Structure 1
Amino acid sequence: MSIWGVIGGTGLTELEGVELLGEDWPETPFGKPSAPLVHGRIGAQDVVFLARHGKPHRIPPHRVNYRANLWALQAAGVEQVVAVNAVGGIHPELKAGTFCVPDQVIDYTWGRAPSFFEDDLEHVVHIDFSWPYDADLTQRLVRILREQGLAHMPKGVYAATQGPRLETAAEIIRLERDGADLVGMTGMPEAALARELDLPYACLALVVNPAAGKSSEVITMAAIEAVIERGMGQVKQVLASLISG
């Protein structure tokens, strides 16, 4: 049986219902990952959990060591990865508290280490990134969301922005014009690095706020945290069904 990897984003620093087997904080060729790897078991399935922003939550999106995170998961034997992301909703259907399982991504980030293949290469490496998310994993996530009756969009375009600030209303207009449905700060280079390691990777995105300019109300951390508190319980149920199934 394969070992699952779960990367937790904002609001998800640990999994529930897991039989804990131990943890370690390995060194990689790219430094230490954001947090210790937590090893556990859900049913008969082994799982390794990693808090993307550290535990406690203190690493901003542009400072996450994405390369160390993905390298450490693969070195731990992980064979498929589900990433949880808190995002803003651009598409009208993506209200706060709804889910999206994106099938495409547009990268607007800059200054982040984007690849494992940079130094002392025997030849340049180009990966096929036409379809950035694993089709089988995304379909399984969509099926579970549907079975659990959770409001969701079964596909969408994730716009990865630099952060840590939220976007301007004009920037969201641009992203929407580019075809983006949701916006977050941690989708890249994480997805590309997983592809470089041949790790099947999917994103479970929880919409925690309307994107800038999509609501007449001011975006506040208090409102976002309230949605996260409600939504992360649903996230854990989805992950438990995915991994144990």
Structure 2
Amino acid sequence: MSSTARLAGKTALVTGGSRGIGRAISRRLAHEGALVAVHYGHDLTAAERTVKEIEADGGRAFAVHAELGVPGDADTLWSAFDRALAEQGADGGLDILVNNAGITVPRPLADVTEADYDRVFAINTKAPFFIIQRGLARLRDGGRIINISSVATRVAFPAIVSYTMTKAALDHLTLTLAQELGPRGITVNAVAPGYTETEINPTLAIPEIRRRYSEASTFNRLGQPTDIADVVAFVASDDARWVTGQWIDASGGAHLGV
């Protein structure tokens, strides 16, 4: 745990918190002193691994299971969260909500099926909407909502059009909620990664794609999950108390010249 422990006494929930960017966010928030609920949809092994890594670093965490993109997913998530939090001996309050869980449909418009469209919107847009709606009673005044967006919403990217649409919707939700929740001292921001090296992106094993994605950044490298987690940790902290309604580019300057 960090000696400064900027998030000591805080409770955080990270959806999709067991792998990739979510795992890095979970570990970083715990390193800052937060008690972290590591949500997972299907991979219990990954969630348990993340919790053990956090505990080995001196932090506190617990796993929460709920499949997203199905009817009642938000209620299922919060019920699981409440039960697990009670087992931790903590109250039912929440300070930091990170909506990170999401899927990609890597198809151009002509190839997207109705089933593809419905699933990507159910997980990437509908789920966070209702997770926030159902969670507001738990979120303490002065809390933080952080939505993980994508740099793809500021450039044309036909290959993932349905995915980009879901993130653009999340961006607008971020803006609206920032205004609505401001009187409670709650900040709402979106953090937008670019090309990031995670285990769930198989295209990075293709040398030409890896090179092209790296060259998109002004730093000529792929982002690491920790690059994103560091930005999220800042937004979650009191240092960012005067920042709300913002779309924060965490892409390493991807496509600045496009």
In which range does the TM-score fall when normalised by the shorter chain? 0.3 to 0.5
Q: Which has the higher strand share?
A: 1
- TM-score norm. by structure 2 comes to 0.37
Q: Which has the higher helix share?
A: 2
Q: Which has the higher contact order (CA 8 A, sep 6+)?
A: 1
- TM-score norm. by structure 1 comes to 0.38
